Amino acid sequence: MEEEYGAQQIQILKDLEAVRKRPSMYIGSTGPRGLHHLVSEVVDNSIDEVLAGFCENIKVVIHSDNSITVTDDGRGIPVSLHPVYKKPALELVMTFLHAGGKFDNKIYRVAGGLHGVGVSVVNALSEWLEAKVIRKGKTWQQRYERGKPVTKVECIEENSSHKTATEVSFKPDEEIFESIEFDWERITRRLRELAFLNQGLRIQVEDERSQKKEIFRYEGGIRAFVEHLNRNREVLFPEPIYIEGEKGDVSLEVAIQYNQSFIQDIFAFVNDINTEEGGTHLSGFKAGLTKVVNDYVKKEENKDIVLLGEDIREGLTAIINMKFPNPQFEGQTKTRLGNSEAKGIVESIVFENLSRFLEENPPLAKMIVQKAISSSRVREAAQKAREITRKKESLGGGLLGKLAACSENNPEINELYIVEGDSAGGSAKQGRDRLFQAILPLRGKILNVEKTHLIKVLNNKEIGATITAIGTGIKEEFSLAGLKYNKVILMSDADVDGAHIRTLLLTFFYRYMPDLIRTGHIYIAQPPLYRVSNKNKEYFLNSEEELKKLTEQLGEGKIEVQRYKGLGEMNPEQLWNAAMNPATRTIYQVSIEDAVVADELFSILMGIEVEPRRNFIQEHALEVANLDI
């Protein structure tokens, strides 16, 4: 019998304080990331109703004034008086931090809410919020302003319908956020992901500002997700392999499909949360997959060979979707699952189900095995290349003539500038602060690693020098303990070629050293486009807009304008002041806020398929200043 969801199930852990004073503690920032987190918090409440089996439809509307409305057909938030706190349950949920039904495992067996701050934080950080609830034939409503109720919970309509629903509308507070302009792409990406992860769920999204509309519904669930990720790649077999199973209160579904690339893309979710840092469930999947394939090789192929996990995962795209009661999240961004029991559960479900599938599908199993064996042979050749590289490094030949090292031995303050070209590298070496800034000049464009196998990557001199200089190793051998620099700064010309080189470098870091990006060590320098001098003053400007604004402010004074075509045109002093002096430079930290989107973009822009790249460029041509086709 289903538990009654009423006011008595609402529990309060502590009241709502200091949210408006320190919003970043609760939503990460007051920039775009924090702004969009508000939408996620409200939508996650609806998704928890989906996970509980009571919601089939969600609608999100971005209004013309940048307010948001989220509607679902779940059970509706209770409105009756709480037996202890003597307030309507709706008001408690909206005005107290950590108040809700998620702490009662009978009401929500599994729930998301990674940060656990709840819709009350959205309320606190909104200029206004209105909540409507339809329950037991009545529509109830309450309005709040900056977190405080300005009306009572009151019935505004009665009918005989058995319909239930919750509607939350809010407008972010301009006193809190840098901007309240919502990004259509950012919102729809997350909603599409949620539709993939919840098979059959219908999510409708509308933008009144642009009249855009989308409906996401995927009967194929995570199988459709894998097909979506592989849509620009040459796949090994047409339909993803799908397995599912349960152990106690834990349920798991996995979809996998191989492609002809040399990279692996595994995305693991717990209660619809993307665990970007992995965790025990991901370890269990890898262990189960490795054991299945090696057992098949030994039993069916009669081959005396042991494949490593990295051999078996080359070219693999996989989605792991786990529903888990009381997940414990760890890691720098709280996106790594820490529950020890998850590893064994996932490993056993994957092993049992995938073993059966391979036995029943020998042709497909042979394709997977042959690809893994081929990967193993290339890995062994690559290992020999690594050993040769290490011997060269030990003899001092690995970076001879390339790296201009810094004198400080403290990785926490040291910086490595990776600079395009010998000319710019020469200026950077002369203009830097030798105490903590090292310079690594690169000649020309490095390999596109999206199209290249590991052995060619390791044999490339420019990439080899970069790996050696940074000190962490790559792929499975990567370790932050070896990092020699707190900041790795990419500095290239402010033109199309420079943008291409930055993209090639970022592709390399994303595919071979992703944790360098995740932990915030990769930066992009923005060298100026213009040098403007007026009397004894000198300005470095990054855009034509800045130049126009400055010239309008100089009045009748004579100014000299120099446009830089490349870094090599700057003398050492100018390069130091414009791009290397920590007090005056502009550098941007690179982040992977959405790993799934990053993967898609790199696959489109750097992969072997030409048509998707052409379509992407044509679609976004008006949004960028420089295009590299």
- Domain of 250 in residue numbering reads as 222-379
What integer is the mean pLDDT of 2-25? Answer: 66
291 in the same domain as 258: yes
Domain boundary among 216, 246, 269: 216
| 237-246 per-position pLDDT tens digit | 999 999 999 9
Whether pLDDT at 281 is above 50: yes
Q: What is the pLDDT of residue 333?
A: 62
Catalytic residues: 420, 493, 495, 497
Name 194's Cβ contacts closer than 8 Å, sequence gap at least 6.
43, 47, 201, 203, 216, 272
Same-domain status, 453 and 595: yes
pLDDT tens-digit profile of 455-504? Answer: 788 888 888 889 999 999 988 889 999 999 999 999 988 777 777 888 88
For 79-123, what is each residue's pLDDT tens digit? 988 888 888 989 988 988 765 555 455 555 555 554 445 789 999
Do 469 and 612 share a domain, yes or no?
Answer: yes
394 band by pLDDT with thresholds 50, 70 and 90: low
Strands 265-270 and 316-323: parallel
Of 173, 200, 216, which one is at a domain's C-terminal end? 216
Q: Is residue 483 part of a domain?
A: yes
Residues 368 and 296 in one domain: yes
Q: Mean pLDDT in the chain? A: 85
| Cα angle value 205/207/213 (rounded, 5°) | 50
Same domain flag for 157 and 244: no
Return the CATH number at 126: 3.30.565.10
Residue 286 sits in the same domain as residue 320: yes
Residue 567's pLDDT is: 80
> By mean pLDDT, which of 53-57, 224-228, 355-359, 593-597 is the weakest?
593-597
Question: Are the C-beta atoms of 143 and 158 separated by less than 8 Å?
Answer: no
Within the chain, what is the greatest distance between any pair of CA atoms? 86
- List Cβ neighbours of 619 (8 Å cut-off, separation of 6 or more): none
Whole-angstrom CA distances from 565 to 429, 446, 493 are 20, 21, 7
Question: Would you say residue 1 lies in a domain?
Answer: no
Do 297 and 407 lie in a common domain? Answer: no
The pLDDT tens digits of the residues spanning 188-234 come to 999 999 999 999 999 999 999 999 999 999 999 999 999 999 988 89
- Which residue is listed with tokens 């309240």? 180
Same domain for 320 and 182, yes or no, is: no
Does 129 lie in the same domain as 174?
yes
Domain containing residue 254: CATH number = 3.30.230.10
